[in-house]
Amino acid sequence: MTKLTAEKLSLSYDSTSVIRNIDLHIPEGKVSIIIGSNGCGKSTILRSLARLLKPAEGSIYLNGKDIHRHSSKEVAKKLAILPQAPEAPEDLTVKELCYYGRHPHKGLFARYSAEDHQVVEEALQATKLSNLSHRTLDALSGGQRQRAWIAMALAQGTELLLLDEPTTYLDLAHQIEVLELLRSLNQKRNCTIVMVLHDLNQAARYADHLISISNGQIYKEGSSAQVFTEEMIRDVFNLSSTIIQNPVDGSPLCIPTGIIK
Protein backbone atom coordinates (compact mmCIF):
# COMPACT_ATOMS: atom_id res chain seq x y z
CA MET A 1 0.00 0.00 0.00
CA THR A 2 1.07 3.56 -0.71
CA LYS A 3 1.58 5.63 2.44
CA LEU A 4 0.96 9.39 2.47
CA THR A 5 1.70 11.55 5.51
CA ALA A 6 2.53 15.15 6.37
CA GLU A 7 4.47 16.55 9.32
CA LYS A 8 4.44 20.12 10.63
CA LEU A 9 2.96 21.20 7.28
CA SER A 10 2.46 24.91 6.61
CA LEU A 11 1.17 26.19 3.25
CA SER A 12 1.06 29.69 1.78
CA TYR A 13 -0.11 31.51 -1.33
CA ASP A 14 1.77 34.71 -2.23
CA SER A 15 3.21 34.90 1.30
CA THR A 16 -0.30 34.63 2.81
CA SER A 17 -0.44 31.78 5.31
CA VAL A 18 -3.29 29.33 4.58
CA ILE A 19 -2.42 26.18 6.58
CA ARG A 20 -0.29 26.25 9.72
CA ASN A 21 1.72 23.42 11.28
CA ILE A 22 -0.56 20.42 10.74
CA ASP A 23 0.21 16.71 10.88
CA LEU A 24 -1.69 14.33 8.60
CA HIS A 25 -1.74 10.56 8.30
CA ILE A 26 -3.96 9.33 5.48
CA PRO A 27 -5.41 5.91 6.46
CA GLU A 28 -4.47 3.30 3.87
CA GLY A 29 -7.30 1.62 2.00
CA LYS A 30 -9.90 4.06 3.36
CA VAL A 31 -11.96 6.99 2.08
CA SER A 32 -10.79 10.22 3.71
CA ILE A 33 -12.84 13.38 3.18
CA ILE A 34 -11.71 16.93 3.98
CA ILE A 35 -14.40 19.46 4.97
CA GLY A 36 -14.38 23.10 6.02
CA SER A 37 -15.75 26.51 5.13
CA ASN A 38 -14.93 28.25 1.84
CA GLY A 39 -11.34 29.47 1.70
CA CYS A 40 -10.18 27.43 4.70
CA GLY A 41 -7.47 25.61 2.71
CA LYS A 42 -9.09 22.26 1.83
CA SER A 43 -8.02 22.30 -1.81
CA THR A 44 -4.65 23.75 -0.84
CA ILE A 45 -3.99 20.70 1.33
CA LEU A 46 -5.00 18.38 -1.51
CA ARG A 47 -2.70 20.17 -3.98
CA SER A 48 0.20 19.92 -1.57
CA LEU A 49 -0.42 16.19 -1.03
CA ALA A 50 -0.25 15.74 -4.81
CA ARG A 51 3.10 17.60 -5.01
CA LEU A 52 1.53 20.51 -6.91
CA LEU A 53 2.30 23.00 -4.15
CA LYS A 54 5.54 23.12 -2.20
CA PRO A 55 5.19 23.55 1.57
CA ALA A 56 6.25 26.81 3.20
CA GLU A 57 7.37 24.64 6.10
CA GLY A 58 7.27 20.97 7.00
CA SER A 59 7.24 17.93 4.74
CA ILE A 60 4.96 15.50 2.92
CA TYR A 61 6.10 11.90 2.78
CA LEU A 62 5.21 9.36 0.11
CA ASN A 63 6.13 5.88 1.33
CA GLY A 64 8.43 7.45 3.92
CA LYS A 65 10.36 9.66 1.47
CA ASP A 66 9.89 13.41 1.06
CA ILE A 67 7.53 13.70 -1.91
CA HIS A 68 9.60 16.51 -3.42
CA ARG A 69 12.57 14.15 -3.61
CA HIS A 70 10.62 11.82 -5.87
CA SER A 71 10.60 12.54 -9.60
CA SER A 72 7.31 13.63 -11.14
CA LYS A 73 7.08 10.28 -12.91
CA GLU A 74 7.63 8.37 -9.66
CA VAL A 75 4.85 10.33 -7.98
CA ALA A 76 2.50 9.78 -10.93
CA LYS A 77 3.00 6.02 -10.59
CA LYS A 78 1.92 6.18 -6.93
CA LEU A 79 -0.90 8.72 -6.86
CA ALA A 80 -3.39 10.30 -9.23
CA ILE A 81 -5.17 13.61 -8.74
CA LEU A 82 -8.42 14.76 -10.30
CA PRO A 83 -8.70 18.56 -10.02
CA GLN A 84 -11.97 20.42 -9.61
CA ALA A 85 -12.34 21.38 -13.28
CA PRO A 86 -10.11 19.13 -15.43
CA GLU A 87 -9.71 20.13 -19.06
CA ALA A 88 -9.12 18.17 -22.25
CA PRO A 89 -9.98 18.67 -25.94
CA GLU A 90 -13.73 18.18 -26.29
CA ASP A 91 -13.29 15.96 -29.36
CA LEU A 92 -11.22 13.48 -27.33
CA THR A 93 -12.93 10.12 -26.87
CA VAL A 94 -13.38 8.44 -23.49
CA LYS A 95 -10.92 5.70 -24.42
CA GLU A 96 -8.33 8.21 -25.67
CA LEU A 97 -8.63 10.08 -22.37
CA CYS A 98 -8.06 6.84 -20.46
CA TYR A 99 -4.85 6.18 -22.35
CA TYR A 100 -3.45 9.46 -21.03
CA GLY A 101 -3.42 7.72 -17.67
CA ARG A 102 -0.79 5.29 -18.98
CA HIS A 103 1.76 8.03 -19.80
CA PRO A 104 3.67 7.80 -16.48
CA HIS A 105 4.42 4.16 -17.28
CA LYS A 106 5.75 4.76 -20.79
CA GLY A 107 8.99 5.97 -22.29
CA LEU A 108 8.98 8.96 -24.62
CA PHE A 109 8.37 7.00 -27.82
CA ALA A 110 7.13 3.71 -26.38
CA ARG A 111 4.06 2.08 -27.87
CA TYR A 112 1.14 0.89 -25.79
CA SER A 113 1.57 -2.68 -24.62
CA ALA A 114 -0.92 -5.48 -24.06
CA GLU A 115 -0.83 -4.55 -20.37
CA ASP A 116 -1.73 -0.92 -21.18
CA HIS A 117 -4.71 -2.05 -23.26
CA GLN A 118 -5.87 -4.39 -20.48
CA VAL A 119 -5.58 -1.71 -17.79
CA VAL A 120 -7.60 0.76 -19.89
CA GLU A 121 -10.31 -1.82 -20.56
CA GLU A 122 -10.50 -2.63 -16.84
CA ALA A 123 -10.80 1.08 -16.00
CA LEU A 124 -13.63 1.48 -18.50
CA GLN A 125 -15.41 -1.57 -17.08
CA ALA A 126 -14.97 -0.40 -13.48
CA THR A 127 -16.57 2.95 -14.30
CA LYS A 128 -19.25 1.37 -16.52
CA LEU A 129 -18.08 3.26 -19.59
CA SER A 130 -17.22 0.40 -21.96
CA ASN A 131 -20.26 1.09 -24.13
CA LEU A 132 -19.38 4.81 -24.26
CA SER A 133 -15.64 4.39 -24.87
CA HIS A 134 -15.76 5.78 -28.44
CA ARG A 135 -17.98 8.73 -27.55
CA THR A 136 -16.34 12.17 -27.34
CA LEU A 137 -16.26 14.07 -24.05
CA ASP A 138 -18.52 16.81 -25.39
CA ALA A 139 -21.21 14.21 -26.07
CA LEU A 140 -21.36 13.05 -22.44
CA SER A 141 -23.53 14.16 -19.56
CA GLY A 142 -21.85 15.78 -16.57
CA GLY A 143 -21.92 12.56 -14.59
CA GLN A 144 -20.58 10.50 -17.50
CA ARG A 145 -17.79 13.02 -18.08
CA GLN A 146 -16.76 12.84 -14.42
CA ARG A 147 -16.72 9.04 -14.62
CA ALA A 148 -14.47 9.32 -17.69
CA TRP A 149 -11.96 11.38 -15.73
CA ILE A 150 -12.08 8.87 -12.89
CA ALA A 151 -11.48 6.10 -15.45
CA MET A 152 -8.37 7.96 -16.64
CA ALA A 153 -7.14 8.21 -13.04
CA LEU A 154 -7.76 4.47 -12.58
CA ALA A 155 -5.85 3.71 -15.78
CA GLN A 156 -2.89 5.46 -14.17
CA GLY A 157 -2.70 2.34 -12.00
CA THR A 158 -2.10 4.02 -8.65
CA GLU A 159 -3.17 2.91 -5.17
CA LEU A 160 -3.93 6.47 -4.10
CA LEU A 161 -6.56 8.73 -5.67
CA LEU A 162 -7.00 12.41 -4.76
CA LEU A 163 -10.12 14.28 -5.89
CA ASP A 164 -10.94 17.96 -5.46
CA GLU A 165 -14.72 18.38 -5.16
CA PRO A 166 -15.59 15.62 -7.65
CA THR A 167 -19.33 16.35 -7.40
CA THR A 168 -19.11 20.09 -8.23
CA TYR A 169 -21.47 21.18 -11.05
CA LEU A 170 -23.36 17.87 -10.93
CA ASP A 171 -27.03 17.46 -10.08
CA LEU A 172 -27.93 15.38 -7.04
CA ALA A 173 -28.44 12.11 -8.92
CA HIS A 174 -25.04 12.38 -10.60
CA GLN A 175 -23.40 13.40 -7.31
CA ILE A 176 -24.61 10.17 -5.72
CA GLU A 177 -23.58 8.20 -8.82
CA VAL A 178 -20.00 9.49 -8.54
CA LEU A 179 -19.78 8.97 -4.77
CA GLU A 180 -21.16 5.43 -5.02
CA LEU A 181 -18.63 4.70 -7.77
CA LEU A 182 -15.76 5.95 -5.60
CA ARG A 183 -16.92 3.91 -2.62
CA SER A 184 -17.21 0.84 -4.82
CA LEU A 185 -13.69 1.36 -6.19
CA ASN A 186 -12.36 1.74 -2.66
CA GLN A 187 -14.01 -1.47 -1.51
CA LYS A 188 -13.26 -3.60 -4.58
CA ARG A 189 -9.73 -2.37 -5.31
CA ASN A 190 -8.70 -1.42 -1.77
CA CYS A 191 -7.45 1.91 -3.12
CA THR A 192 -6.94 4.86 -0.79
CA ILE A 193 -9.16 7.83 -1.65
CA VAL A 194 -8.77 11.39 -0.40
CA MET A 195 -11.29 14.00 -1.49
CA VAL A 196 -12.60 17.45 -0.72
CA LEU A 197 -16.39 17.74 -0.46
CA HIS A 198 -18.69 20.70 0.17
CA ASP A 199 -21.83 18.76 1.04
CA LEU A 200 -21.53 17.95 4.74
CA ASN A 201 -24.10 15.17 4.87
CA GLN A 202 -22.54 13.44 1.88
CA ALA A 203 -19.13 13.74 3.55
CA ALA A 204 -20.47 12.20 6.77
CA ARG A 205 -22.10 9.37 4.84
CA TYR A 206 -19.20 8.38 2.59
CA ALA A 207 -16.14 9.04 4.78
CA ASP A 208 -14.28 6.36 6.68
CA HIS A 209 -12.06 9.15 7.97
CA LEU A 210 -13.31 12.74 8.22
CA ILE A 211 -10.95 15.73 8.51
CA SER A 212 -12.41 19.12 9.47
CA ILE A 213 -10.34 22.26 8.81
CA SER A 214 -10.73 25.61 10.59
CA ASN A 215 -8.50 28.67 10.88
CA GLY A 216 -5.67 27.02 9.03
CA GLN A 217 -5.52 23.97 11.26
CA ILE A 218 -7.15 20.59 11.75
CA TYR A 219 -10.14 21.13 14.02
CA LYS A 220 -10.81 17.42 14.47
CA GLU A 221 -10.37 14.17 12.56
CA GLY A 222 -11.65 10.63 12.96
CA SER A 223 -14.78 8.68 12.07
CA SER A 224 -17.92 10.57 11.09
CA ALA A 225 -19.47 9.72 14.46
CA GLN A 226 -16.47 11.28 16.23
CA VAL A 227 -16.12 14.41 14.09
CA PHE A 228 -19.62 15.25 12.88
CA THR A 229 -21.06 16.96 15.94
CA GLU A 230 -23.14 20.04 16.62
CA GLU A 231 -20.09 21.60 18.26
CA MET A 232 -17.97 21.05 15.11
CA ILE A 233 -20.69 22.48 12.86
CA ARG A 234 -20.89 25.55 15.12
CA ASP A 235 -17.16 26.15 15.39
CA VAL A 236 -16.15 25.36 11.80
CA PHE A 237 -19.17 26.59 9.82
CA ASN A 238 -20.69 29.15 12.21
CA LEU A 239 -24.01 27.30 12.08
CA SER A 240 -26.31 26.09 14.79
CA SER A 241 -27.66 22.64 13.97
CA THR A 242 -29.23 19.46 15.16
CA ILE A 243 -27.47 16.18 14.39
CA ILE A 244 -29.73 13.17 13.91
CA GLN A 245 -29.11 9.62 12.74
CA ASN A 246 -29.56 8.99 9.04
CA PRO A 247 -32.44 6.45 8.88
CA VAL A 248 -30.88 4.76 5.82
CA ASP A 249 -27.39 3.89 7.05
CA GLY A 250 -27.05 5.31 10.57
CA SER A 251 -24.51 7.99 9.62
CA PRO A 252 -24.86 11.41 11.31
CA LEU A 253 -27.13 13.84 9.49
CA CYS A 254 -26.95 17.61 9.96
CA ILE A 255 -30.12 19.71 10.12
CA PRO A 256 -29.05 23.40 10.06
CA THR A 257 -31.15 25.61 12.32
CA GLY A 258 -29.56 29.03 11.81
CA ILE A 259 -26.47 31.16 11.28
CA ILE A 260 -24.69 32.17 14.47
CA LYS A 261 -24.30 35.96 14.65
**29 in Cβ contact with 192 (< 8 Å):** yes
- CA distances to 209, 216, 254, 259 from 240, in Å: 23, 21, 10, 6
SS3 of residue 59 by DSSP = strand
pLDDT for res 15: 82
Interval 67-81 mean pLDDT: 93
pLDDT for res 88: 84
Give the DSSP per-residue string, 203-237: HHHH-SEEEEEETTEEEEEE-HHHH--HHHHHHHH
> In terms of C-beta density within 10 A (0-12 exposed, 13-18 middle, 19 or more buried), how is residue 247 classed?
exposed
pLDDT for res 107: 73
pLDDT for 109 beyond 80: no
Question: Using one digit for the tens of pLDDT, what is the confidence trace for 15-69?
Answer: 889 999 999 999 999 999 999 999 899 999 999 999 999 999 999 999 999 999 9
pLDDT band, very low/low/confident/very high, at 149 (cuts 50, 70, 90): very high
Question: Using one digit for the tens of pLDDT, what is the confidence trace for 200-220?
Answer: 999 999 999 999 999 999 999
Per the CATH hierarchy, to which homologous superfamily does domain 4-259 belong?
P-loop containing nucleotide triphosphate hydrolases (3.40.50.300)
Question: Using one digit for the tens of pLDDT, what is the confidence trace for 178-199?
Answer: 999 999 999 999 999 999 999 9
Cα–Cα distance, 54 to 6 (Å, whole number): 12
**96 in Cβ contact with 153 (< 8 Å):** no
Planar angle of CA 150, 40, 156, nearest 5 degrees: 20
Cα–Cα distance, 240 to 143 (Å, whole number): 33
Helix ranges (H only) for 50-129 are 72-78, 94-100, 114-126
